[in-house]
Amino acid sequence: MAARIQPNMKHTAVKRQAWKALESHYKKVSTLDLRRLFAEDPTRGDRMAVEAVGLYLDYSKNRVTDDTLKLLLQLAEESGLPARIDAMFRGEKINITEKRAVLHVALRAPKGASIVVDGEDVVPKVHAVLDKMADFSDRVRSGAWKGHTGKRIRNVVNIGIGGSDLGPVMAYEALKAYSERAMTFRFVSNIDGTDFAEAVRDLDPSETLFIVSSKTFTTLETMTNAHTARTWSLARLGGDQESVAKHFVAVSTNAAEVSKFGIDTANMFEFWDWVGGRYSMDSAIGLSTMVAIGPDHFRAMLDGFHQMDEHFRTTPFGRNLPVLMGLLSVWHNDFFGAQTVAVLPYEQYLKRFPAYLQQLTMESNGKHVTLDGTVVTRQTGPIYWGEPGTNGQHSFYQLIHQGTRLIPCDFIAFAKPLHPLGRHHDMLLANVFAQTEALAFGKTPDEVKAEGTPDWLVPHRVFEGNRPSNTILAERLTPETLGKLVALYEHSVFTQGTIWNIDSFDQWGVELGKVLAQRIIPELESKAEPKLDHDSSTNSLIRRYRKMKEHYEDNRL
């Protein structure tokens, strides 16, 4: 049996005074009902709301009292959150297991700001890359950049995975209304050949530009897809190697590998090891976003990020949106035992936002040891999931309303629609408000009976209520608002990670599977029967697959 690392209580959050106080406080308030809390304080809905940088957060429908908030804020102080924020913004190497600074905030620092890493101010480098991206985007958008046969580029395909894919896809979908509609944008990430095949099936290679986005430029999926793309492109452009320079550009930190691939490093857009993959959508990894929406909109998005950064850095915690959201998440997760958070955007363009947040939150805070390597004694990162409203209402909301689990929800809505169509928007927003109301206040047996419901049916129609939610309301989904929203969650993740005393910026948990796959690939491909040395299940699966797979010809691209 594997040896279990013993928790070291000395260094864990549990020992903190505020944590202990929250434990006894929880015993007193865990049965409190939102109905009662609202009835006792008619100002609650206004008091427990904060507006900052154009985002309004109503957190009143959470199971908290003023004392809860006081203790949570005390926990943030005792956990050293102020010093951790300073350390991050100063460029200290707070990603201790990878010995790296964590400076996504530098990616949106305005010209003239200064953030020094290893003796060098990184802000001018950030702006030099942004200018290069803007020049490139303008040339592609205007048609000045020509493909190998002299045609303008009409299709852009981003090849990347994880942090080099989810941000670009999410941002493209979120900001489609601002994008150049005469162009087509596609995203290839999966090593499953279907992803590539479907992305290019109707594209003309002479009008197609591939952006190979990979921090390391060694990632199996991305490099496999990039090589397949190069074969596809060359085969249709007469095999002339020179065409690669016109149809492939790279976003990477690894110039050597980029030029080995055949991409001119003049067409490489740089970023740095202090940008984590899942925090990189506003770096050069956002090149496809910039080509889609244009440099001005991209800069507006960066400005939105920066406004939230400044709010997080400078605002007292009691009015600090990311801090409050992070603390509330810890409260539900660690004290009420909630295992998940549902993110429910009532904005169709944000359909990929929950998927994006899954990586941001779960890769960052899905950790089992604290910074000093001892096993945590409390639950860390909850599972984030969600779908746009109102669709979810007709499927999984049932479980949120009447199931046996507590699922805190983040509702996200905008006052002004991007497509004002008749009564659609009022109806959409009515659903947001109705859902938060129903979750919080439910419907009692008496209320159900009063509607004339037969006794036997009453229990089925009762809503317990008391189900927590946040509502985030902004004016309209714009590039600037998107930047604010993403930064809000980034800093909420950071707040939670600080409370749990974990490294929110590494991701060792994705390594093992990658290494094992490298070992299995030759066992699947070898002509001769391989000698298998796995467990009996894995051995059998490999043997069965080898038998099942037909000896098909290589894919004709």
Which residues have a catalytic role annotated?
363, 394, 514
* Interacting positions 497-526 with ligand G6Q (CB under 6 A): 507
Instruction: For residues 275 and 259, give the distance between their C-alpha atoms in angstroms, rounded to a whole number.
Output: 22
Helix (H, G, I), strand (E, B) or coil at 334: helix
276 binds ligand G6Q (CB under 6 A): yes
For ligand G6Q, which is the closer residue by CB, 163 or 295?
A: 163
Tell me the C-alpha distance between 224 and 396, whole Å.
37
Cα–Cα distance, 125 to 480 (Å, whole number): 22
Of positions 100, 148, 186, 215, contacts ligand G6Q by CB under 6 A: 215
In sequence order, which residues have a C-beta less than 8 Å from that of residue 400 and are 6 or more positions away?
A: 342, 407, 409, 439, 467
CB atoms within 10 A of CB 353: 25
CB of residue 162 to ligand G6Q, shortest distance in Å:
2
- Give the binding range for ligand G6Q (CB under 6 A) out of 93-101, 212-220, 415-423, 450-458: 212-220
Minimum CB separation of residue 516 from ligand G6Q in Å reads 16
Which residues, including other chains, have CB under 8 Å from residue 143's CB and lie 6 or more apart? 152, 153
- CB 277, min distance to ligand G6Q, A: 2
With helix as H, strand as E and coil as C, how does 62-122 read?
A: CCCCHHHHHHHHHHHHHCCHHHHHHHHHHCCCCECCCCECCCHHHHHCCCCCCCEECCEEC
Window of 119-127, 144-152, 196-204, 276-284 that interacts with ligand G6Q by CB under 6 A: 276-284
Which member of 25, 246, 278, 484 binds ligand G6Q (CB under 6 A)? 278
- How far out from the chain centre does Cα 396 lie? 21
Binding track, positions 46-65, relative to ligand G6Q; x by CB under 6 A: --------------------
For ligand G6Q, the closer CB: 157 or 327: 157
Given candidates 105, 161, 290, 376, which one binds ligand G6Q under the rule CB under 6 A? 161
Kindly identify the residues of this chain, within the stretch 349-368, that bind ligand G6Q according to CB under 6 A: 363
Q: Determine how many CB atoms are found less than 10 A away from the CB of residue 512.
A: 9
Write the DSSP symbol of residue 56: E
User: Which of 168, 205, 277, 381 is the binder for ligand G6Q (CB under 6 A)?
Assistant: 277
* Position 386 contacts ligand G6Q (CB under 6 A): no
222 binds ligand G6Q (CB under 6 A): yes
Task: Please count the residues of the chain.
Answer: 557
Based on the number of CB atoms within 10 Å of its own CB, is 9 exposed (0-12), middle (13-18) or buried (19 or more)? exposed
Out of 91, 147, 163, 345, name the contact with ligand G6Q by CB under 6 A.
163
Alpha-carbon distance 133 to 56, whole Å? 33
Q: How far is CA 230 from CA 203, 240, 242, 285, in A?
A: 14, 11, 11, 20
Q: Does 219 bind ligand G6Q (CB under 6 A)?
A: yes
* Closer to ligand G6Q by Cβ: residue 506 or 523: 506
What is the per-residue binding string for ligand G6Q in 164-203, x denoting contact by CB under 6 A? x---------------------------------------
Residues forming the site for ligand G6Q (CB under 6 A): 161-164, 214-216, 219, 222, 276-278, 363, 507
